[in-house]
Structure 1
Amino acid sequence: MTILLSLAAFAAILLPDSASADKMRPGYKNYRNVHGLNANTNCRRPHFNICQGCNIVIPMRVAQDRSCGFNFQTLGPFAGQEVIASPSNGSYSLVNTTTAVYRPSAGFTGRDHFESRLYFEDGSGKRTFLILKVNVNVVPSL
């Protein structure tokens, strides 16, 4: 008995779909398209989601003398943050209760890094957190 599979059927068996890929990499969202990612002329960074108690490491590219913001409310019931490691060549701070921004030092280009503990409330009102580690590359332009 001979079984013939099309290339698409073979790929479907071997390659996980985007939902499976999300489960394999907790803390990240997998998108089939860029959802306007390239519309932001100031910065580029991947989307991520809540994973209780985990460390999420993301890369971020920021244009020189520009800023890059985070809106944590889109992740769920945001309950605040604690900066664990401040950037060496810029600043990272809250703009309001749910939004934070990274700003490189004036004229700086190169690598920077910061870390923050983000707190959320789960459905039962219990507080949970994740550690967000951001590796920044400040470039002349995007």
Structure 2
Amino acid sequence: MKKYRFAFPKSAFVIYALIIAAAVISVVFSALRLAEVGKYASSIPALDIVTIVAFGIFVLLLGYNLFGAFYAFEKSAFVSAQLFFRKRVQKERIYKFIIDQESGVAALYYLDPASPETLLYVTVNIKRKELDAFTEDLRRFKSDVLIEVRSAVSGSGE
């Protein structure tokens, strides 16, 4: 089945872009100091090498987090992955799926493996236009799952 990308807010993309730009600038200046280009000369080359490696790894991790976060249905489990954190929910433990139409927030509730009477949840943060396809894939994955759609109550008079 299809993988659904994690929907980061636009502000997260802006913040990540600023962090990546600062890291790239730092790497460029460290490389210029190592190469002793122009007026830049490194007094501590090891520090510049460590800076290049550290910021390089940092930029790779940020990129991996931005473009590698997803939700998917595998053979016997639902998978939520973000950076190094993977949450696997076994198919038989999935209980219900709740969607709040007003906010676009969704949550997949499942039974805790350690305590079967306890419900835990995974927040599903995907684009609103993909929510219907996600719900259909969830129904195909586990046909007896409860799906609840909550909408704003109108006309309350308050």
More contact order relative to length (CA 8 Å, sep ≥ 6): 1
Same fold judged by TM-score > 0.5?
Answer: no
Normalized against structure 2, the TM-score is what? Answer: 0.29
Normalized against structure 1, the TM-score is what? Answer: 0.31
Higher helix share: 2
Higher strand share: 1
